[in-house]
Amino acid sequence: MSEETGCEILAKAEYENAGGSIKDRPALAILQAAEASGALVHGEPGWIVEGTAGNTGIGLALAGASRGYRTLVVLADNNSAEKKAALRALGATLLEVPMVPFSNPNNYVHVARRVFEQMKQELGQQNPPVRVILADQWSNAANRAAHYTTTGPEIYAQTNGRVDAFACGVGTGGTLTGVSLFLKSVKPSVRSVLIDPAGSALKSHFECGELASEGSSISEGIGQGRLPENLTRDGFKPDLCLRVTDEEALPLAYDLLWHEGLSIGSSSVINVAGAYKLAKQLGPGHTIVTVLCDHGTRYTSKLSNPDFLRAKNLPVPAWLDPAHPDTAATNDMAHRMLNHALQTEQNK
């Protein structure tokens, strides 16, 4: 993509974090802020409650366990099986609810708040009382601050200040705003670019002043039909908004896997496709940075599932399609080699 566009397209590999995603950064920052305020005490029993698409919950479970806390996660039942398994494996208590719009009182974010209020009341009456916090990544300023103090400075240093644009999708808004605000503080010419998947209303809001959306996306953790406080705080507004569909993004994801050995998650797919689209729009000679939010193995039940992809009318890569001539020929050869190897051993 870089060679084709004449730009240097860089992607920060956030799946290398301990919890496997970019959400480790705000998760740790939220806990540190809670300890600084006295809402939690390091080493003493406490509970963290959060409504999340999964990755923030994983980060909270890891960071919380290392500091003596338990984590309860509320998430929509349409999130990947891999994320749910990871949360349970890390000791988090998991509550699944049906996926409904944010306007519905049974949306996972609202349910998490009600669970938090109930737990705070009940556990606060114990002797000694147990502290409970709601992480509230959507409004918690520590989310944005985590990226302003870590991700942004790292990007600037790792590019030697040559970054011209930072582009990514928005879930809570913490990454786009925190990174953009830092980069603009040291290099005002840097462009902040919102990459919006189909089904999200953010591009419409910033360009037309209304929350309107069309289509849908299999991406998780990005795309909103509302305005998170971390996105709009202090009047933040991206310099440019680009829409990316799954049909545009998935072929690039499979190309990266096949030709470059990069397995990336669904939100990362949208980010890369958006950075590619931005590079073609800006023209040669620019350095564009995005983030790989998590690893593709966290979504194999979707991105590597031919039945799921066909049900969504999305492209299926050749190596997952048993009817594809190349796949059929390869499978036939493999079975012939296996049979030959077994027969050879039997003859011995």
C-alpha gyration radius of the chain: 22
**Backbone angle region of 301, left / alpha / beta, with phi > 0 → left and psi within -120 to 50 → alpha:** alpha
Cα 112 from Cα 118, distance rounded (Å):
10
DSSP states along 53-72: SSHHHHHHHHHHHHTT-EEE
203 is catalytic: no
- Give the residue carrying structure tokens 């690893």: 295
Cα 7 from Cα 288, distance rounded (Å):
7
In the chain, DSSP finds a helix count (H) and a strand count (E) of 15, 9
* Sheet containing 131-134: order of strands: 93-97, 70-76, 46-51, 131-134
Closest CA to 273 of 171, 167, 150, 142: 167
DSSP assignment letter at 294: B
By CB atoms closer than 10 A (0-12, 13-18, 19+), residue 22 is: buried
Cα separations (Å) of 310 from 73, 255, 307? Answer: 31, 18, 5
Q: Which of 12, 23, 83, 120 is catalytic?
A: 23
In SS3 terms, 105-118 reads as CCCHHHHHHHHHHH
CA dihedral 275, 277, 283, 284 (to 10 degrees): 50
CA dihedral 216, 220, 226, 227 (to 10 degrees): -140
Cα 80 from Cα 102, distance rounded (Å):
19
Name the strand (E) or helix (H) holding 130: none
Closest CA to 151 of 28, 242, 237: 28
The catalytic residue positions are 23
